[in-house]
Structure 1
């Protein structure tokens, strides 16, 4: 039976419920969000003479919770207008409306008696066949559906989202005793394809997969930090980006999540996993109990392991149990990894460290490896699901078994044995069978060691993805130090950047041109995309700064023209060129996206022309392209200046879209032309598909534009008056005004006496001249230098 999800009901509007509701709204689903009726009036309601029968009062909890979610930062919703897809109500007056929904998601308080009471009410109105799932993070699924009808139990399971729902990709699916296999199959595919999640089917064990391993990891560190006499700053330094974990690392993450939340899950594991070999690690250390007793729970109480006082950050001292100024942490072992760009290549170096950092890594990894090996097959039959859960739910770049492989399975067993950590017997069986690693790559697909067959088995579901890591060498067509060109099949190439932060310098520029040359000669199309953290942070700023400081203006002019010419080559090549932006897509990365035939953007794309922050205007065709896009929107009888002004302000205020959907509103992506995918893992495959469609439809090389309408003095005068007013009001500095006026000159098409049709090249020449003139300004050089050294913009 084909199942469509047109409308969902979310019961419970707290942080998780509102987050789930917003994410379904993100993907275009109609949402009914319900919560209980308040049992008393607020003072404000009483003063207005309202009663508990008033509809606004009855829906106060749900409306307040949703409003708070929509105001939160980072936002749970791609575009504020998507909130119109959510209607609210209460479980007393509106529960009957669930008869019209396709999926009911319960997100009420974590108490079995309350959940069962809610299900009893739901069953009165739920139509047979409707999906019914719980977002519980710990209550056994088999307890919840007891006493419910056969149809209810067959369509019931756990669907555990992680908070924040929009940003964390893990979607755990936990079957009940009678859940139909087709329900699990549907939810698994729906999570991946529509919700953009990493779907993981877990067993009905305490805390499932993500929290079982994640909470073990944090609790074991709580004990290890005391044993080794480390500070919280040292642990956060050791467990952050250096090993591919979030910047918040361990203790800052606990502050953000809330210590009470962590303790709730840890206590549940302590109570419900008496036979777990690491059982005692789930017992709270004294310093955690001290924080709990004082209700110092983290961000929600303004203090936890860290505390901000004015502008100073204080740290909690685990010995004195008092706050003190934060101390900078440094280790010799970490210094050895500074030249190793790939996180996966650092692990071998880290565990060999001779200092306290090396000892910490050996001890923490030894415990983690032993623990995860002993959880297979207890919490899952397939080891890759543990890695998937930790990457998608906790933001780890590599899962435990991947890290173990990176160190070497046998090498890690040596220090595990020395430290008394015992892995599961199947690990030795795996090695004895001739399998020396948990994963292998064959023919572009990843295989994992399967305990049942004792062979390497292909991870299912990969056919929908193109994984660049798996084809980087086998499908390489060409490359230099900054890019690699792969054949991704069906006559389509993919150009991957791997410069620092995927910045665009000489190597990338030559790589783009070479890729187009090769594609035009032998292939059908080109995708420009990568699977790093970000698409591209823009032009190589250090190179621009060096040439400007040395006053090598001819060389700088040549470099900027090469950038512009390359963007025009992307636009006017003989084959379709598809950009696949995701993450940070700034400056030159944005300009590349603007000039592609089509963008296939990840929903989580943060795109913008941010050059103002370093004292210049977009110089790689961005200023030209925004003027062109504005002109293409001009209609007869429009106030054309208003349209152009909107685009001018977008560039002049360095706006960055916080999602691909917002990028459409700002003009960086185009509705009806560009494509948005929610699951970034599918992005390259989707981009390939669109390149192929364009090629097979008979792609014709476009003709260069000579019909861009510019408004001349009419626009220039208005913009200059505006910047004068902004400066007079002290909203911008004198240098800000100078930059804005240069941009105004370009986007107006100069001081032409009347609206005129001009060529793209005319605008590019104006843009390049303005960019170069700003590079001669001392204040611009100060801004560039400040950005390079401090990583943030300077206002001067």
Structure 2
């Protein structure tokens, strides 16, 4: 029988509970979020004359947490309006409502007695066959179902989300021996397909998978930091993006998560007694951690942790770091390591490890010690916490934000070298890992079918990672399916008549080599294939045009070449729109400027939910020059209704560009007209994106795709232009914008109204593209625009001059 989830009840409205509620609301599920009834009235409630029996009082905790959720930064909801899908209540008055829910998720305080009392209430009202799960991270799952009915046990499992729920994709599914196999399958499949999670089947062992490995790594660093003689900020420099881990690295992560949370997990593993002597000591708290706990230096939630924000004598904010020897806060000292300098030309973190472990400085010493301990530990945890190594790698990537899992890193340095590092660090890897060196094998291989396989310790053979049929992983097909490539792009055969164009330049910026590749891909698709997907699996889809190239041409005053380059970009975008084959774009992550323009010119868009998309050219002193200004004008004017105030509708589109507004999710992009209802759609699981885009392209081809007819657009002319000029004059007079901001805004308005036409007129797209290109060139001749471009290239942020 098919199981549908239309309504979820979340029991507990704290940080995790509200985060889980938000994510279910994100995917269109109705949510009831309950919490306890307050024991006392607040002063504000007393002044209003409320009593403990008033609904506003009884629901106060859940209501306040819903309000916090709405204001959270970064946002936990894909769109603020999705908060309407969440209703609140309390355990005493509203528990009977769970009889109409499809899934009950318990997220109450981490105490077994409290959880069991909540389950008693659930059993009073729960309809047989209703899913029940717990988000616990510290209590063994099997203990939670003691004394429960057989039906309850059959549908129960641990569903361990990671915080923040929207942004960390890991969902650990932890069944008990009583959980029905089909229910385990449901949790796994629903988490992946609907919630967009990396679902990992975990065993009921202390801290499960990700926290067990992650906390070991952090505690190992805690124990070695003094021995290595490195500061807090030095460790963070060495354990962040340079090795493919988040910017928060080690100690900033501890501050964000909360030192008490890390200690709770570490102490839980230590108390469990499951670790043998060689690892058990790693979960004992070092002296400086005990001192920090005593002083309540827990991180962001308190006055300070490993870092502390203060004001200097001039009132400016200053970040101090904790000296772990003296336990006093000091100014950060700039750290530099020769080993890191050797990796500056190596783009992918996975390719840096071979260099890093051979460093002759403190950095090299850290990497050898850290990785040696990690390799020994993960090999020892197979099969204790997982029978399959890929689950450990999946968990670390999805739960801790590592770009590569420990076994993938071990492959990168070589199995024999990893064993050597472990010995140097004072550990021995497990026998099964040692045996791998006899074959000279790696932990992972890609087979001839383009599927990733892993070494299975049980069978002593390579097995295919399950679930890959739902994905297209470009790294796996690159070897056998690449049809063409240049320095910035590649074309792959996705089979079934569909090809993929992949941007592969630095930060996926759009220069001549990318545009050449895209035109070649369209040519190839029109001649020999049925459709084209434009997608990549980098960190971001595209940060936009190659600013360095534009700056160089403008400084050299190569106006003819720059004009040709912009015209080529525009022509390429129009080919995306008006080719004879369906084009489907799959944006994700940062999709800015030119990346947004490619997206807007496709026949269809299959966007990842986590797509941050917008026309941001204003921030570097120009207007969108690749058809973005034209396209947003066209879309706005096409959507006008009979009674619309035309100037107001066009002003909204104008402001989106003039403010450099970026949608904070694909859903917000619909409100900005960057994505279009009824045409474009969103996938929550980014791993499925290319496969879904291929399906859309296939369907369009099979339905008989016909090349679109070029459009005419009605522009408003001088009357509307006057309105925009008045508006920018007022903004300047009020000191809301600079003189240069006004100049750019006025030129943008000139393009969007079609120039100084005496009355509303129908014009071609090319007419607007010509205006757009001329205006872009004019702005590139402005000194302040060049200053903005240079500042962006140097600082990575916008200059308002």
Question: TM-score scaled to structure 1, two decimals?
Answer: 0.99
Residue 314 of structure 2 aligns with which residue? none
The 5-angstrom pairing of residues 560-639 of structure 1 reads: 560-639=566-645
Shift of 1:572: 0.6
Q: Is residue 798 of structure 2 the alignment partner of residue 780 of structure 1?
A: no
Q: Distance in 2 between matches of 1:758 and 1:532?
A: 38
Shift of 1:472: 1.1
Q: Distance in 1 between matches of 2:798 and 2:308?
A: 26
Which of 463, 470, 476 is residue 469 of structure 2 equivalent to?
A: 463
Q: Distance in 2 between matches of 1:664 and 1:286?
A: 53
Question: TM-score scaled to structure 2, two decimals?
Answer: 0.98
Shift of 1:303: 1.2
Q: Distance in 1 between matches of 2:28 and 2:422?
A: 49
Q: Deviations over 1:357-391 (max 9, x none)?
A: 11111110000000000000001111110000000
The 5-angstrom pairing of residues 366-765 of structure 1 reads: 366-432=372-438, 434=439, 436-442=441-447, 443-705=449-711, 707-765=712-770
Q: Distance in 2 between matches of 1:435 and 1:33?
A: 54
Residue 193 of structure 2 aligns with which residue? 193
Q: Distance in 2 between matches of 1:70 and 1:257?
A: 21
- Root-mean-square deviation over aligned CA pairs: 0.9
8 Å CA contact 2:141–2:175 kept in 1: the answer is yes
Q: Deviations over 1:243-275 (max 9, x none)?
A: 100011000111111111111111111111343
Q: Deviations over 1:469-493 (max 9, x none)?
A: 1011210001100001000111111
8 Å CA contact 2:419–2:434 kept in 1: the answer is no
Q: Distance in 1 between matches of 2:458 and 2:55?
A: 58
Q: Secondary structure at the match of 1:248?
A: coil
Q: Distance in 2 between matches of 1:611 and 1:602?
A: 22
Q: Secondary structure at the match of 1:163?
A: coil
Q: Distance in 1 between matches of 2:729 and 2:303?
A: 42
Shift of 1:319: 1.3
Residue 82 of structure 1 aligns with which residue? 82
Q: Distance in 2 between matches of 1:418 and 1:98?
A: 56
8 Å CA contact 2:415–2:436 kept in 1: the answer is no
Q: Which runs of 4+ in 1 moved over 6 A?
A: none
Q: Distance in 1 between matches of 2:323 and 2:561?
A: 54
8 Å CA contact 2:608–2:686 kept in 1: the answer is yes
Q: Secondary structure at the match of 1:474?
A: helix
Q: Secondary structure at the match of 2:446?
A: strand
Q: Distance in 1 between matches of 2:573 and 2:682?
A: 22
Q: Is residue 18 of structure 2 the alignment partner of residue 13 of structure 1?
A: no
Q: Secondary structure at the match of 2:177?
A: coil
Q: Distance in 1 between matches of 2:69 and 2:268?
A: 28
Shift of 1:118: 0.2
Residue 273 of structure 1 aligns with which residue? 273
8 Å CA contact 2:104–2:131 kept in 1: the answer is yes
8 Å CA contact 1:568–1:595 kept in 2: the answer is yes
Shift of 1:498: 1.1
Q: Is residue 292 of structure 2 the alignment partner of residue 318 of structure 1?
A: no
Q: Is residue 368 of structure 2 the alignment partner of residue 362 of structure 1?
A: yes
Gaps of 5+ in 2: 312-316
Gaps of 5+ in 1: none
Aligned residues: 794
Q: Secondary structure at the match of 1:300?
A: coil
8 Å CA contact 2:155–2:180 kept in 1: the answer is yes
Q: Deviations over 1:158-179 (max 9, x none)?
A: 0000000000000000011201
Q: Deviations over 1:122-158 (max 9, x none)?
A: 0000000000000000100110000010000111110
8 Å CA contact 1:430–1:454 kept in 2: the answer is no
8 Å CA contact 2:369–2:424 kept in 1: the answer is no
Q: Distance in 2 between matches of 1:738 and 1:204?
A: 63
Q: Distance in 2 between matches of 1:267 and 1:261?
A: 10
Q: Deviations over 1:406-438 (max 9, x none)?
A: 111112212323333211111123333x36111
8 Å CA contact 1:194–1:678 kept in 2: the answer is yes
Residue 142 of structure 1 aligns with which residue? 142
Residue 333 of structure 1 aligns with which residue? 339
Q: Distance in 1 between matches of 2:284 and 2:420?
A: 28
8 Å CA contact 1:236–1:251 kept in 2: the answer is yes
Q: Distance in 2 between matches of 1:463 and 1:373?
A: 28
8 Å CA contact 1:209–1:386 kept in 2: the answer is yes
| More moved, 391-400 vs 336-345 | 336-345
Q: Distance in 2 between matches of 1:679 and 1:329?
A: 38
Q: Distance in 1 between matches of 2:273 and 2:158?
A: 20
8 Å CA contact 2:269–2:275 kept in 1: the answer is no
Q: Secondary structure at the match of 2:492?
A: strand
Q: Is residue 306 of structure 2 the alignment partner of residue 300 of structure 1?
A: no
Q: Secondary structure at the match of 2:725?
A: helix
8 Å CA contact 1:633–1:643 kept in 2: the answer is no
Q: Secondary structure at the match of 1:92?
A: helix
8 Å CA contact 1:603–1:661 kept in 2: the answer is yes
The 5-angstrom pairing of residues 86-105 of structure 1 reads: 86-105=86-105
